[in-house]
Amino acid sequence: MICKNCGESNLPEALYCKKCGKRLLDDHCPVCGAEVADGARFCIYCGADLKADVQWQTGAADNGNDVGGVAAENAKNGSVIQEDNGGRAENVEKTGSTYKKVMGIISVAFGFALAIFTTIFVFLVGLRENALVASTANASSNVNISKNYYTYYFFGEVYKDLKQSLSALTPSVFELETNYKAYKTLSYLPAVFGTVISAVLFLAVLSVGITAIVKCAKKLTSGEDNGGIKLAIITYAVYLAGALSLLALYNANAYGEASGALGIKGEMYLSGATMAGIIVGGVLALCSIGCAVAARGKEAFSPSNIPPFVINVVKIILVLVVLFLSAGAVITIQIPDSANSNASFSAMYILSVIKPLLFADFSSKQATAVNISTVFTCLSYVATAAGLIVGALWSANSLSEVKNVSGAKPRGLALAISFAVIEILNMIFIIVAINGYCDYYGETGEQLSDMIEYPAVIACVVLSVLAFAAEIALTVLHYSNVKKFDKTL
């Protein structure tokens, strides 16, 4: 540390010059350590007298020959003031260091809890199905069916249920034998996807989660900065992506009335335990990042850090909205002349709509339409799952960057590009799949096409592009700050 007053070289941690006694950091308050403007007389944060350590020196210099007079007294008093100010500054510095250390420990503790919580709750991920057949004439005859489907359901039980349901069907009930094979294939496809998603979910969460637990534990015991918090957030992101991917397999909501006397309602959604895992995990992740930001103190909210902080937060919100929309009922069918009859479902549910068509004989043109619809439905689900994974990892990366200062280089541009492209491709796949289904019916299909809407699909594309734009803005902001810094050198 070079003294600006006399040019003497001092230790890096020195607060005052060892030769002339002048405070080395003129732009910081010696009492609270806050940054102060040039020429300020008092600190605007604690009210300390910023000129106290120079007044006594001036007095001593003007009366240096009067050893027995006021100069000696001033020098003596000044030494006490200087020593007192230096001591208080050192105490404030220690207090600030302790505060940062405590907040850092709390941040890691929340990350540690997040990793443990997610690793446990991955075994409770599942879906819940509700079906209600209600009669307005006789409420006692209402039938309500509810069932939970947990991830382990896809490792055996689902195939037993399919085998049992398909045992009643024989090739003879189909006009074409090839249609019987196609029906079985379409029945097993969602189950196979569910098994793959469940297996990946278990392996990813357990491997990353256990690593995060170990790293956070080492951080708490040794203080080594090893990226444990980021791994804990990634564990939660994988948990979220896996749960929503399962929902996208079977998500459907339908309501219909028959003669105004009988109502049928069916819906599929995430189970209560899964939603609890998503909510509690999200709170723990936010608390961990919040404490990490708080540990940086005023540095985190300096003028140069506020723009990237706000952009990052907006970007995370946009991506999360896209994730939940894409896993939901993205296709809506409104029955004309019936305000009380409608249906909405995920893209993968189109396979369940196609299956009844296979009982009848159809032309080669209709067969082509069915094949196109089937292929693009599967492509749509693959795109949906990929978008959920990429979006969740992008959100985790962005959440980790929230606690960084403006000098940190954004690293989500590749994920942003991938996410936007996947959402656009998914929209194309869904529209082609629906058109293929409608083409099967010929002229009737045109009327059916008019009933189908894609509000959620369009919203996903628009929001993903906006999130991509936010990532570009962060990158541009980063390099503009770097350029400004280079010019000052």
Domain boundary among 299, 318, 335: 299
pTM score, whole prediction: 0.75
* Residue 370, domain member (yes or no): yes
CB 180 within 8 A of CB 186: no
* Residue 237, domain member (yes or no): yes
**Is there a single domain that holds both residue 285 and residue 176?**
yes
* Residue 322, domain member (yes or no): yes
> pLDDT tens across 176-203, in order?
777 888 888 888 998 999 999 999 999 9
Q: Locate tokens 């980021």: which residue?
A: 230
* Residue 55, domain member (yes or no): no
**Is there a single domain that holds both residue 366 and residue 473?**
yes
Q: For residues 294 and 343, give the distance between their C-alpha atoms in angstroms, rounded to a whole number.
A: 47
Quote the Cα angle for 213-121-229, to 5°.
Answer: 30
Single-letter residue type at 429: F
Residues 6+ apart with CB under 8 A from 116: 209, 213
Q: What is the pLDDT of residue 300?
A: 67
440 pLDDT above the threshold of 50: yes
Q: For residues 31 and 93, give the distance between their C-alpha atoms in angstroms, rounded to a whole number.
A: 9
Q: What is the pLDDT of residue 169?
A: 81
The secondary structure of residue 251, as a DSSP letter, is -
* Residue 154, domain member (yes or no): yes
Domain boundary among 259, 279, 299: 299
Q: Given CA atoms 85, 90, 93, 99 in this order, what sign does their dihedral have?
A: negative
117, two tokens:
């919580």
Between 143 and 425, the higher pLDDT residue: 425
Q: What is the pLDDT of residue 143?
A: 66
* Residue 85, domain member (yes or no): no
**Is there a single domain that holds both residue 310 and residue 444?**
yes
Most distant CA atoms of the chain, gap in Å: 122
Residue 86: pLDDT band (50, 70, 90) is low
**Is there a single domain that holds both residue 339 and residue 281?**
no
> pLDDT tens across 384-417, in order?
999 999 999 998 888 877 765 545 566 788 899 9
* Residue 50, domain member (yes or no): no
**Backbone dihedral angles phi then psi of residue 168, each to the nearest 5 degrees:** -80, -15
CB 257 within 8 A of CB 142: no
Q: What is the pLDDT of residue 130?
A: 79
88 pLDDT above the threshold of 60: no
Q: For residues 53 and 430, give the distance between their C-alpha atoms in angstroms, rounded to a whole number.
A: 73
**Is there a single domain that holds both residue 118 and residue 261?**
yes
**Is there a single domain that holds both residue 294 and residue 440?**
no
Between 37 and 277, the higher pLDDT residue: 277
485 pLDDT above the threshold of 80: no
353, two tokens:
């709509």
Residues present in the chain in total? 489
Residues 6+ apart with CB under 8 A from 298: 34, 35
* Residue 96, domain member (yes or no): no
Closest CA to 157 of 129, 194, 186: 194
**Is there a single domain that holds both residue 163 and residue 277?**
yes
**Is there a single domain that holds both residue 188 and residue 261?**
yes
Mapped onto helix, strand or coil, the DSSP state of residue 35 is strand
Helices (H), 331-454: 350-354, 364-401, 413-440, 443-451
Provide the mean pLDDT of the chain.
Answer: 78
Give the sheet arrangement for strand 126-135, strand by strand: 143-150, 126-135, 262-270, 252-258, 342-345, 331-334, 452-453
- Partner residues linked to 144 by β-bridges: 132
Count of the separate structural domains present in the chain: 2
Burial classification of residue 51, based on how many CB atoms lie within 10 Å of its CB (0-12 exposed, 13-18 middle, 19 or more buried): exposed
**Is there a single domain that holds both residue 381 and residue 250?**
no
CB 412 within 8 A of CB 471: yes
Q: What is the pLDDT of residue 10?
A: 77
- Partner residues linked to 28 by β-bridges: 35
- Residue 217, domain extent: 101-299
**Is there a single domain that holds both residue 242 and residue 152?**
yes
Q: Given CA atoms 273, 276, 282, 285 in this order, what sign does their dihedral have?
A: negative
Q: What is the pLDDT of residue 45?
A: 61
**Is there a single domain that holds both residue 160 and residue 252?**
yes
**Is there a single domain that holds both residue 122 and residue 151?**
yes
269 pLDDT above the threshold of 70: yes
CB 315 within 8 A of CB 470: yes
